[in-house]
Amino acid sequence: KSKNKSITSFAAITSVVDGLKMLYNEKLKPLEATYRFNDFVSPALTSSDFDAKPMVMLLGQYSTGKTTFIKHLLQCNYPGAHIGPEPTTDRFIVVMSGPDERNIPGNSVAVHADMPFTGLTTFGGSFLSKFECAQMPHPLLEHITLVDTPGVLSGEKQRTQRSYDFTGVISWFAAKCDLILLLFDPHKLDISDEFKRVISSLRGQDDKIRVVLNKADQVDTQQLMRVYGALMWSLGKVLNTPEVARVYIGSFDQKPVNDAAIGPVGKELFEKEQDDLLQDLIDIPKKAIDRRINEFVKRARAVKIHAYIISHLKKEMPALMGKSKTQKKLIANLDDVFAKIQREFHLPEGDFPDVDQFRVALARYNMDEFEKLKPKMIQTVDEMLGYDIPELLKNLRNLND
């Protein structure tokens, strides 16, 4: 039953993504182009921005079972996966859907415009040599992309063995991800200073964090309670949010749960927890689409305000003489211009861009070349916000129920 539901919801999501892409190209993109939003604020969205799958990142000390967790999810190894008790995964590996099994080195991945990883070039060549994309055809990977990471090491090792900004890279992925799984195992509970720094770099993404207490069947129930308690004790201090992080307790491996140590109730608990986590993973695409729609709406509002500002500046320019003087005056009084537009069109002040940054950006342009207000184009975007997007959402909800 839950499987059927998730399939419907995947179909719905694909249709919403396609819907958004169409709305963007037909209704928002023309407005962006007309008023140079893409130069001023943000490049035009490409197909890959819409198509990028929700990402799940696995993080934890070495040997806590990150790579094994992925194997468990996929029911098979991804190309180039290494599993072992010593530190094994030595690079960041994006595991994604592809027509056949292959590994693409980081340097190539970072230049592929159709993959959302071009931003990683800022971490330099020594990072890119420790970055890789593993592709394979797999039904699960059609819906989410997984990010396997090298185990966090402690002390000197972390510094000497990693020639790039490890915490920075984690933080970059965290911002792009929809879910971050922090793995612990009963014998690797201590949160080293390095690990603390890594967790701190997730700040602002707290709602994406889920904790997994893995290999929980390796200790007996009473020990497990101690271990789990100790984990919560220190996590509470490190994450420092009042909301308690959700912890999934279990053994995420293909081997059956070792019920010698844990007994039948422990086994039942683990199975419930594993189901919950799987359900959480299945829900990601749906939550991710909500996040995207939200960001799309924010962008559309920003584009509208941008259009009002640009066209207002154009309107204020004289027909024949004193153009340069007027432009200077407008730039100097930009606060007043913003206030005027805000009043005229009843716009929320908080949606306006930063005046000073806008002033700097404006200096590069000749206002005389700006476009006049085209009410039809604005109206199209208003219709999109007021009708098309709610309609899209309604379809999504209907398909889900």
* Contact positions vs Mg ion (CB under 5 A): 66-67, 89
Beta bridge partners of 132: 93, 105
Binding residue for ligand ATP (CB under 6 A) from 6, 9, 67, 135? 67
Contact between 203 and its own copies by CB under 8 A: the answer reads no
Which pair of tokens denotes residue 327? 């432009």
Contact between 160 and its own copies by CB under 8 A: the answer reads no
d(CA 109, CA 97): 14
d(CA 304, CA 25): 15
| # chain residues binding ligand ATP, by CB under 6 A | 21
In our burial notation (b when 16+ CB lie closer than 10 A, e otherwise), range 141-163 reads bebbbbbbbbbbbeeeebeeebe
d(CA 253, CA 263): 18
Q: Which is nearer to its own copies, 141 or 180 (CB)?
A: 180
d(CA 268, CA 286): 28
- Taking residues 88 to 127 in sequence order and writing x for each that binds ligand ATP by CB under 6 A, - otherwise, the string is xx--------------------------------------
- Taking residues 270 to 299 in sequence order and writing x for each that binds its own copies by CB under 8 A, - otherwise, the string is --xx--------------------------
Q: What are phi and psi of 132, to 5 degrees?
A: -155, 155
Contact between 80 and ligand ATP by CB under 6 A: the answer reads no
Please report how close the Cβ of residue 262 comes to its own copies at its closest, in angstroms: 8
Which pair of tokens denotes residue 216? 């929980």
Q: Tell me which amino acid residue 308 is.
A: Y
Comparing CA positions, the residue from 238, 157, 154 lying closest to residue 199 is: 238
Please report how close the Cβ of residue 397 comes to ligand ATP at its closest, in angstroms: 37
Contact between 167 and ligand ATP by CB under 6 A: the answer reads no
Which conformational region is residue 138 in: left (phi greater than 0), alpha (psi within -120 to 50 degrees), or beta? beta
- Taking residues 286 to 325 in sequence order and writing x for each that binds ligand ATP by CB under 6 A, - otherwise, the string is ----------------------------------------
Residue 107 near residue 118 (C-beta atoms within 8 A): no
Contact between 308 and its own copies by CB under 8 A: the answer reads no
Return the range that interacts with its own copies (CB under 8 A); candidates 148-156, 245-253, 284-292, 298-306: 245-253
Strand order in the sheet with 102-105: 102-105, 131-136, 92-97, 145-148, 55-60, 179-184, 209-213, 247-249
d(CA 324, CA 330): 10
Contact between 205 and ligand ATP by CB under 6 A: the answer reads no
Q: Which is nearer to ligand ATP, 257 or 310 (CB)?
A: 257
Binding residue for ligand ATP (CB under 6 A) from 101, 253, 368, 371? 253
Which pair of tokens denotes residue 116? 């959302």
Q: Which is nearer to its own copies, 246 or 372 (CB)?
A: 246
Contact between 235 and its own copies by CB under 8 A: the answer reads yes
Residues 6 or more apart whose CB falls under 8 angstroms from that of 223 comprise 186
Residue numbers 18-57 binding ligand ATP by CB under 6 A: none
Q: Which is nearer to ligand ATP, 54 or 60 (CB)?
A: 60
Calculate helix-pair angle for 375-383, 259-316, nearest 10 degrees: 160
Q: Which is nearer to ligand ATP, 271 or 335 (CB)?
A: 271
Return the range that interacts with ligand ATP (CB under 6 A); candidates 82-90, 124-132, 195-203, 361-369: 82-90
Binding residue for ligand ATP (CB under 6 A) from 84, 105, 168, 236? 84
Please report how close the Cβ of residue 6 comes to ligand ATP at its closest, in angstroms: 24
- List contacts with its own copies (CB under 8 A): 221-222, 225-226, 228-237, 240, 244-245, 247, 249, 262-266, 268-269, 272-273
